[in-house]
């Protein structure tokens, strides 16, 4: 029978369950342009409104994975593992996590994305490092992962190309917020990377894509069930994003924060909890550590010995960055012309932070993008952000703004002040790790 994409769309429109073969045919049509953008939009809206069963999402994920290359890792005798975050503000976890677990015995081919909207992107942060290339060829990518243990790069044109086309349509047709489509989009790329295990960091709160805890848990459950159904052993942590995770939000400022973490110069408390928890999950699920306690001990030893920082520096150099980047970070990262404290007019406890607002403040400075083709100013952002619960006196800073001009600095300072709620009473505490979902 001839392939008729409109018939598959009709079946999903009418709340019918699609067969794996139908889903495979549709995705092959997306890949070879037999399916139009209008038909992709109609399919996405039908899924958005009517959902998909677990088996349908597995079939969609595998079809999108198979739309391009699937990497293999011959000659690597260590487990192949990765982590994915659903995105937030001050979320530079990948920059520390990949070298930490690489130093503990994992191979981490980390294929990351760029920032869009209020959330930051790992690739934009890494490109703050002069010369760092996020688009190596597959041979260099494999060699770095084999020799160093980790490489943080971007998605190549040959990995899950159907996902890239479908996402471009979803982004302009109000169908992004669909758990089946989010699940397939994330996991198709991870499966194409040839992973053996995956750990997910699903954010919830004012700075997260999923603002409500129940929505974040639903997404985490879908991701775990579908990944395991597709043969990829996966665990998810649901973590709090009701304040920036690091005390920095931007690109170069987050890279400096990450290097300080790796060298021990400074470690934000909530950030350290998330990094160590994800490291423990990666090491135990890969069989490198027998327990979470043993895994955290290994991770701390990798930090204390300097091995994690060394892996980061070697990775940066192998991908085109300076050979002494870790040792001379301040000499290489771009710096904004205007750097100044943002102070409060009345003292008290930091009761809450509009984290999305902080992220949008970075975008307004030029440190993020509203369109994929926008350029990013790597030097701008916020640093030294006061955490929830901090006790401040009148005139104390809540953070520091890094801006291109005085006008930009004034606007960014006003934005940051508006994002901070100062109260006379101490706020109730909320754990940073809210849930663990393994099946």
Which residues have a catalytic role annotated? Answer: 82-85, 122, 170, 185, 189-190
What tokens appear for 152 in the block? 């943080």
Beta bridge pairs of residue 93: none
Which residues lie closer than 8 Å to 143 by C-beta, 6 or more apart?
none
CA distance 231 to 235: 13
- What is the spatial distance between Cα 433 and Cα 208, in angstroms, rounded to a whole number? 14
Distance separating alpha carbons of residues 322 and 130, to the nearest angstrom: 7
Helices (H) and strands (E) in the chain, counts: 17, 13
Q: Residues with Cβ < 8 Å from 129, sequence gap 6 or more?
A: 255, 316, 321, 322, 325, 332, 333
Q: Listing from the earlier edge strand, what are the strands of the sheet with 348-353?
A: 391-392, 348-353, 420-423
Q: Residue 428 CB: number of other CB atoms within 10 A?
A: 8
Distances 179 to 54, 363, 411 between C-alpha atoms, Å = 11, 26, 36
Total Cβ atoms within 10 A of residue 287: 11
Cβ within 8 Å of residue 350, ≥6 positions away: 386, 387, 388, 389, 390, 392, 398, 420, 421, 422, 427
Q: Which tokens in the block code for residue 3?
A: 């392939």
Buried residues in 257-277 as b, exposed as e (16+ CB within 10 A): bbbbbbbeeebbebbeebbbb
Distance separating the N- and C-terminal Cα atoms of the chain: 38
Name residues whose C-beta falls within 8 Å of residue 77's C-beta, 6 or more positions apart in sequence: none
Helix (H, G, I), strand (E, B) or coil at 411: helix
* Residue 228: partners with Cβ closer than 8 Å, 6 or more residues away: 234, 439
| Cβ-contact 344, 385 below 8 angstroms | no
Q: How many CA atoms lie within 13 A of 180 on its CB side?
A: 21
133 within 8 A of 319, measured Cβ to Cβ: yes
């Amino acid at each position: 029978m001839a392939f008729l994409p409109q018939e598959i769309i009709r079946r999903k429109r009418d709340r019918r369950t699609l067969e794996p073969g139908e889903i495979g045919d549709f995705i092959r049509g997306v890949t070879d342009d037999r399916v139009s953008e209008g038909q992709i939009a109609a399919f996405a809206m039908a899924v958005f409104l009517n959902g998909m069963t677990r088996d349908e999402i597995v079939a969609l994920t595998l079809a999108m994975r198979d739309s391009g290359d699937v990497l293999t890792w011959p000659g690597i005798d260590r487990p192949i593992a990765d982590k994915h975050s659903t995105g937030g503000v001050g979320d530079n976890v990948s920059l520390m996590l990949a070298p930490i677990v690489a130093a503990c015995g994992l191979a981490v081919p980390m294929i990351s994305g760029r920032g869009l909207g209020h959330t930051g992107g790992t690739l934009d942060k890494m490109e703050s490092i002069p010369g760092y290339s996020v688009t190596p060829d597959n041979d260099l990518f494999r060699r770095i992962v084999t020799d160093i243990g980790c490489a943080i790069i971007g998605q190549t044109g040959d990995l899950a190309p159907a996902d890239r086309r479908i996402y471009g349509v979803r982004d302009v047709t109000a169908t992004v917020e669909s758990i089946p489509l989010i699940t397939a989009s994330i996991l198709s790329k991870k499966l194409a990377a040839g992973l053996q295990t995956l750990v997910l960091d699903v954010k919830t709160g004012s700075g997260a894509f999923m603002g409500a805890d129940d929505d974040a848990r639903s997404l985490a459950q879908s991701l775990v069930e579908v990944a395991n159904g597709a043969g990829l052993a996966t665990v998810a942590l649901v973590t709090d994003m009701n304040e920036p995770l690091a005390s920095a939000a931007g690109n170069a400022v987050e890279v400096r924060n990450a290097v300080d973490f790796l060298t021990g110069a400074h470690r934000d408390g909530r950030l350290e909890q998330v990094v160590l928890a994800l490291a423990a999950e990666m090491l135990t699920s890969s069989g490198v550590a027998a327990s979470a306690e043993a895994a955290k001990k290994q991770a701390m030893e990798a930090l204390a010995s300097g091995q994690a920082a060394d892996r980061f520096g070697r990775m940066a150099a192998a991908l085109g960055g300076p050979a002494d980047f870790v040792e001379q970070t301040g000499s290489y990262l771009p710096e904004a012309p205007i750097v100044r404290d943002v102070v409060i007019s009345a003292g008290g406890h930091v009761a809450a932070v509009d984290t999305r607002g902080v992220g949008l403040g970075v975008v307004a400075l030029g440190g993020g993008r509203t369109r994929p083709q926008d350029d990013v100013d790597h030097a701008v952002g916020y640093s030294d952000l006061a955490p929830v619960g901090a006790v401040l006196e009148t005139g104390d800073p809540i953070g520091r703004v890094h801006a291109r001009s005085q006008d930009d600095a004034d606007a960014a300072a006003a934005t940051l002040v508006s994002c901070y709620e100062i109260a006379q009473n101490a706020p109730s505490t909320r754990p940073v790790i809210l849930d663990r979902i393994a099946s």
